[in-house]
Amino acid sequence: MAKKERLFEIIELNYAGFGKSSNGKSNCTVNTKIKVNGKVFHEAGEGAGVVNAFDIALRKIIKPFFPDIDSIKLKKYISEAVNIEESGSGAKVKTSVIVGYNGFNLNFEHSDTDSNWSGCIALAKGINTCLNEFVK
Model confidence over 2-46: pLDDT tens digits? 456 779 999 999 998 777 777 777 789 999 999 999 999 999 999
For 49-60, the DSSP string reads SHHHHHHHHHHH
Tell me the domains of the chain and their CATH numbers.
8-133 (3.30.160.270)
CA distance linking residue 58 with residue 60, whole number of Å? 5
CB within 8 Å of 133: residues ≥ 6 apart:
1, 4
The closest alpha carbon to 95, from 112, 74, 71, belongs to 112
Model confidence over 36-87: pLDDT tens digits? 999 999 999 999 889 999 999 999 999 999 998 999 999 999 988 877 666 5
pLDDT of residue 4: 63
The closest alpha carbon to 97, from 51, 58, 39, 136, belongs to 51
Q: Provide, for the chain, the percentages of residues in helix, strand and coil under a 3-state DSSP scheme, each rounded to the nearest 5.
A: 30, 45, 25
Global model pTM greater than 0.75: yes
Q: Which amino acid is at 77?
A: Y
